[in-house]
Amino acid sequence: MNSSIILVVNAGSSSLKFSVFRVDDAGNLQLVVRGQMDGIGTRPCLKARNSTGTMLVESDFTISEVATVGDAISLVGTWLRERLQHESLLAVGHRVVHGGTQFSSPVLINTEIHTMLEQLIPLAPLHQPHNLAAIRAIREKQPQVPQVACFDTAFHRAHPQIADLYALPWEYYESGVRRYGFHGLSYEYITTMLPKIAPKIADGRVIVAHLGNGASLCALQAGKSVDSTMGFSPLDGVPMGTRPGALDPGVLLHLTNQCGLSSAELEKLLYQESGLLGLSGISNDMRILLESHESRAELAVEYFVHYTVKQIGALAAVLGGVDGMVFTAGIGEHSPVIRERILQACAWLGVSIDAAANVRGGPCISSADSRVSVWVIPTNEELMIARHTLALINHGKGGGQVE
Ligand code: AMP
């Protein structure tokens, strides 16, 4: 019997991540396949696993076969069709980095919406074009398949105006220079899990630490984002694998005016060469730094912990106190050492850690007498996208919600 599937796509400059979810009769979503095409335009390689982690494919391709995101979509589409012959594709959900001020929720894509999303390219020139290239490639091949855009920024659109502003002349705010915030799909997923896993804090003041290769924190009040550490771009806030986190803008003036860095060099420095990698000179991978005995590796880890704690303090002040904390993403989910170091420095907030539960990975890692309860909750941005996509096509909301 035919069943229906939803394809979730996250297209970047050199990689295309994808997941397939089967929709059962009750409308539940089950992961079927997860994979990615890496090295688009350089050393293309397709890998995919089934829901239990068994490798289904690991194949290299030539640059001429996979030169662009569109080629990657074609190839992945062909591979999926061969594997999932008896399934019918209901819709495709895309992770789209920027929804600007217009989109505060996911949207079914049509020509008008696509044009609006293109107009947001200047706000996210490194990501948005690739997200849109994937949408275009699918529309050209299968125009009848509904496609949904789910935004990294949308979850933060409800934050108060004070959290949206920079103290620049007003015309910059009007022209879109605002604190958008990112990782919104991850935070939204966590808010859907809180009532099930930690109901006592779900309606309270919660700081979520999404600590992965990209990292940010979000202050939640009753499940709504009131502030976050990323702002206009995904560079601000806590230190990351290759991005510096908060940086005095005077440093940028110095780098351009005195050191002569071009804007392309600056971009490379800020997105690819800074953060844990830049400080350690060894790696952007926290696991490697934690195993290393090099002093700069230790310093990079200390910097990561120190500035994450500092930003937790800032968000705690915004919330006027904290009822709960959540760790998620690669480092947040898998590193008891980093969680412990961060939490020990948060003792002043009323955090007391349960060391054994922390080593086990939770879900609750605070002690029974801790004033603030602390949780480890694995994020699932792909599932969040699949849920939104299914909800939109079920409700047939053509054009979606535009503010
Ligand atoms: P993400 O971007 O969420 O996939 O997170 C990726 C990052 O998580 C990697 O770069 C690692 O630094 C980090 N990570 C994954 N597993 C561990 C671990 N067991 N201990 C420390 N860091 C980890």
Ligand 1, pocket-test mutation among 288, 334, 376, most atoms within 8 A of CB: 334
For residue 329, give the ligand 1 atom closest to its CA.
Answer: 3
Q: Decide if 206 contacts 325 (C-beta within 8 A).
A: yes
Paired sense of beta strands 373-376 and 324-328, if any: parallel
What are the structural domains, with CATH classification, of the chain? 3-172+388-395 (3.30.420.40), 199-376 (3.30.420.40)
Whether omega for the bond prior to residue 378 falls within 30 degrees of 0, making it cis, is no
Write the CB contacts of 226 (distance below 8 Å, at least 6 apart in sequence): 159, 160, 163, 219, 220, 318, 319
- Ligand 1 centroid–CA 330 distance in Å is 4
Write the CB contacts of 234 (distance below 8 Å, at least 6 apart in sequence): 97, 182, 214, 216, 243
Following DSSP, what letter does each residue of 150-196 receive, concatenated? EESSGGGGGS-GGGT--SS-HHHHHTT-S-----HHHHHHHHHHHHH
Give, for all 403 residues of the chain, the pLDDT tens digit: 578 999 999 998 889 999 999 999 888 999 999 999 999 999 999 999 999 999 999 999 999 999 999 999 999 999 999 999 889 999 999 999 999 999 999 999 999 999 999 999 999 988 999 999 999 999 999 999 999 999 999 999 999 999 999 999 999 999 999 999 999 999 999 999 999 999 999 999 999 999 999 999 999 999 999 999 999 999 999 999 999 999 999 999 999 999 999 999 999 999 999 999 999 999 999 999 999 999 999 999 999 999 999 999 999 999 999 999 999 999 999 999 999 999 999 999 999 999 999 999 999 999 999 999 999 999 999 999 999 999 999 876 433 333 3
Q: Decide if 253 contacts 263 (C-beta within 8 A).
A: no
Q: Decide if 378 contacts 362 (C-beta within 8 A).
A: no
For ligand 1, atom 23, which residue shows the shortest CA distance? 331
Instruction: Using CB atoms within 10 Å of the CB of residue 86, give its burial: 0 to 12 exposed, 13 to 18 middle, 19+ buried.
Output: exposed
Ligand 1, pocket-test mutation among 187, 276, 331, 333, most atoms within 8 A of CB: 331
| List 152, 227, 236, 323, catalytic entry | 152
In 3D space, the residue among 218, 199, 214 whose CA is nearest the CA of residue 316 turns out to be 218
